[in-house]
Chains A and B, each alone.
Chain A
Amino acid sequence: MNRREFLKKSLALAVGTSALLLRGSAGRALATLVSGPADLAAVRGGEPEDMFDRGLAAMGGMKRFVSKGQTVVVKPNIAWDVRPEIGANTNPALVERIVRRCIEAGASKVYVFDHTCDLWKRSYLTSGIEEAARRAGATVVPADQKRDYRKASIPGARILRETYVHELVLQSDVFINVPVLKNHGGAGLTISMKNLMGIVWDRGEFHSRGLHQCIADLSLLRKPDLNVVDAYRVMTRSGPRGTSEKDITIRKAQVLSTDIVAADAAAAKIFGTEPSSVEYIRQGDALKAGTMDLNRLKVERIAL
């Protein structure tokens, strides 16, 4: 150990100790400074928007993802024409907070959309997401017309070598994926990777050509810069649409990650499912779209 190294280490130790001593946000910011931002932050015990703020801080803050003047796409799950309490769509308060943080970080434009299953107008309205996102300053756009989708090829894909993808996803500087964790009749679970089916035009193709492999393939197209898994209200059965609030377990959790496969692996565990038992997570790992081995990542666990 030379002098330079010694000084560096002492400084780190000092900062680290003061981070421990300092309570609250200053301490947390210092801790992040020392050890570097996390690859994955898991948060529990708070409201969705508060958990996001804490998780985001551990991930290095919004400045890590959004620079001044950049365009951002925030892609929640707005598939269904149901109330937020049903838990079939992403929590609107969470979407609102994410949009707000993007704009605070200097984003020139934040787009919010989903290629819905039910009629877009009704889903955008009933989910509460359109209103919440607008309130925070987002541009909420429909995605029900094929002319907004561009043919894109997916290098490395096994089945889905090309598909029509919404042009905003292809053009924007930053892509933030905001799924909701749910049981899913077809895919088993729907989390981050499955949520990307809302950026393509032809979902039927996925079902007819091999659902799991197509989901894994699509995650190679454009890696989201950040995935935020809403696991506050978790639909544990009758997914993905749900029949009533009886299908919901309030878990008060959230997963943030730059790694889409890891985000799904962590969320699957929160759901109570072994990630490797979900075929598309396994295939995403095999395609190196990310890793389902959480031990290989820097994971922050935060309890509120």
Chain B
Amino acid sequence: MKRIRVRPLFVWIFLSGFAALFLLSDAGESGLLGFCAKIQVFPAFFRWGITLFLFAGMTLLAGRFYCSFLCPLGLFQEAVHGLGKHRLSGYHRGTSLRYGILAAVIISMATGTIGLLHLLDPFANFGRGITQILRPVLVAANNLLASFPLPGDMPRFLHVRPPAPLTPFVAMAAGIFLAALAAWSFFRGRPYCDGLCPVGTFLGLFSSHSFLRIRFDEGSCSNCGRCEAACPTACLSARKRRVDGDRCVLCLSCIEACPHGALRLGILPVGEGLQRRAFFRVAAGLGVAISLSAIRRSWTPSVLPGTAEGIEPPISPPGSRSHENFIRKCIACSACVKACPAGIIRPTLMAWGVSGLFQPVLDYDFGYCQYECKSCSTVCPTGAIEPLSLEAKQRVQIGRAQFHRDACIVVKNGTACGACAEHCPTQAAHMVPFQDGLTIPEVDASLCIGCGACHFACPASPKAMTVRGLSTHGSARPAKTPGEGPVLDPLEDFPF
């Protein structure tokens, strides 16, 4: 009887789940998907520094199970390789380059640049790949179907949607990354886990002698080598009957491949694992965790945007508190990008400088921050955008509207306009008497939350209303509207 292979099914289901996290606008707010996003190594680390030690402890006990059960990029590689089941090259020693990469990430963060982590973090790379490549493609396909001519009165179930937010350079980078990785893993299994991934390398420091490991049963092994050919991280040597625990991700491919049941997942006796080498590795791992935790608290971005002359400060999402807080915690995974119903949160190449590679900004040329919405803050896995109540969000000042009088229609054309005041949800932009019975906008900065409604609505070119990002978010005063509630004053007589 053929054994049912559970693993591929699991891989595809979980991979679809992670893809849904970056495709469906309200996925990740809560529930299993949200939980899975929040327990990714670096997102969790930016949220709660202590988690690195928890991951270390768990890996010490159970190996790199994280890589084959919780990491979307690991699942992606396994799924792609599974499509071709290309015969793998067999055991090779792990490259020491991986330690260099991990060290480079730590050093760059210590010197004030988080960009290298954005470039390498598996979760962020997966997120950008889905939001910048797959999502635009799916939306375009939907729109093609939705605009397909239908006979007569046939009801439409698909509606043309606005195109998914896409930043050309970021999409290009994400596309190249995904395509290269897909090609590579099609032939090589999990090359990213095996040498490039800083998360994998960090966990590998603890997993080399973990209690839960793949074990050989010498007696049953026939030296057929099928296990070695099935190992996607090339960490299993059939000849030496050895599995390199630091690179093994516990995908269990070898166990499945073995016709004799000579491999199994087992708990090793404590003593067997404890060698001096292992001790040094764990010590090094703890060193990494301690230094990262220290850096997390103290690091400041080397260059803050908007401090340079002539550069307008960008706008960070409500809930991010300050530019510095945002740059420090955002991993550039694009979860907020897909959550924004207005499509104004857009990844950038370097709007936040080198340090903020791929981090998003609010771009009011595409729309404005909806007054009744707080979606971005509910999905951010790192806490770069902290959850806010709607009342709080409606008072947070993320920027400040700037009125450029000479560009205003009322001044330029001498005709009425007021599109800005019309869209302003707080009446920060309001109309005051001008001349010839016309009214002209005025901005009450203490009421302005910087939502960009005025910028988007302004029909002038160049815009007479722009929004300058606030490097530290403020709090708008509540509108001093007199009265308690609606005035009851029914019409008593017709005035005509």
| Chain-A contact segment, one of B6-14, B216-224, B228-236, B476-484 | B476-484
Contact pick for A119, options B342, B489, B491, B495, CB 8 Å: B342
Q: In whole angstroms, what is the CA distance A147 to B144 when docked?
A: 13
Which B residues touch A45, using CB under 8 A?
A: 490-491
Which residues from A are CB-within-8-Å of B314?
A: none
The answer for the CA separation of A250 and B488 in the assembled complex, in Å, is 5
Q: Mark out the residues of chain B between 455 and 484 whose CB falls within 8 Å of any chain A CB in the assembled complex.
A: 457, 459-460, 479, 481-484
Q: Report whether A246 and B459 are in contact in the complex, using a CB–CB cutoff of 8 Å.
A: no
| Cβ A241 vs Cβ B424 within 8 A | yes
Question: Is B496 an interface residue, CB under 8 A from the partner?
Answer: yes
State which of A126, A212, A251 has its C-beta within 8 Å of the C-beta of B489: A251
In the complex formed, the residue of B with least CB distance to A277 is B437
A residues within 8 A CB of B495?
269-270, 272
Contact A185 B421 (CB under 8 A): yes
Q: How far is the CA of A252 from the CA of B490 in the complex (A)?
A: 5
- Whether B481 and A238, one on each chain, are in contact in the complex, defined by CB atoms closer than 8 angstroms, is yes
For B487, what are the chain A residues with a Cβ–Cβ distance below 8 Å?
Answer: 236, 248-250
B418 touching A122 by the CB < 8 A rule? Answer: no
What residues of B have a CB within 8 angstroms of the CB of A269 in the complex?
Answer: 495-496
Interface residue A279 (Cβ < 8 Å from any Cβ of B)? yes
Contact B485 A245 (CB under 8 A): yes
Residues of B within 8 A of A231 (CB): 491
B444 CB within 8 Å of chain A: no
> Are A207 and B417 in contact, with the CB atoms below 8 A?
yes
Check if B423 sits within 8 Å of A212, measured CB to CB: no
Q: How far is the CA of A205 from the CA of B422 in the complex (A)?
A: 15
Q: Are B341 and A207 in contact (CB under 8 A)?
A: no
Knowing A186-B431, A204-B459 are in contact, say whether A246-B491 is a contact too (CB < 8 A): no
Q: How far, in whole Å, are A187 and B421 apart by their CA atoms in the complex?
A: 11
Q: Is the CB of B373 within 8 A of A122?
A: yes
Instruction: Report the contact-size class of chain B (Cβ under 8 Å from the partner).
Output: 35 or more
Q: Is A82 an interface residue (CB 8 A)?
A: yes
User: CB of A94 within 8 A of chain B?
Assistant: no
- Alpha-carbon separation in the docked complex, A144 to B161 (Å): 9
- Provide the bound-state CA to CA distance between A204 and B125, in Å: 39
Distance in Å: Cβ of B440 to nearest Cβ of chain A: 11
Interchain CB contact under 8 A, B160 and A122: no
Say whether A233 faces chain B, with CB atoms less than 8 Å apart: yes
Q: Any chain A CB within 8 A of the CB of B277?
A: no
Query: Please, which residue of chain A has its CB at the minimum distance from the CB of B482?
Result: A246
Instruction: Kindly list chain B residues whose C-beta atoms are within 8 Å of the C-beta of A208.
Output: 409, 413, 417, 459-460
Chain B residue with the shortest CB-CB distance to A202: B459
Within 8 Å of chain B (Cβ to Cβ): is A290?
no
> In the complex, how many angstroms separate the beta carbon of A130 from the nearest chain B beta carbon?
13
Which chain B residues border A212 with CB–CB below 8 Å?
Answer: 415-416
Q: Are the CB atoms of B422 and A81 closer together than 8 Å?
A: no
Name the one of A81, A206, A246 contacting B481, with C-beta atoms under 8 angstroms.
A246
Question: Which 6 pairs show the lowest CB-CB distances between chains A and B?
Answer: A186-B418, A185-B421, A204-B459, A248-B486, A207-B459, A210-B415
Identify 30 residue pairs between A and B in the complex whose beta-carbon atoms are under 8 Å apart, listed by A's number: A42-B496, A45-B491, A117-B423, A122-B370, A126-B372, A147-B147, A185-B418, A185-B431, A186-B421, A186-B422, A186-B431, A203-B419, A203-B459, A204-B457, A206-B459, A208-B459, A209-B413, A210-B413, A211-B415, A212-B416, A241-B424, A244-B481, A245-B485, A246-B483, A249-B486, A249-B488, A250-B487, A252-B491, A253-B491, A266-B496
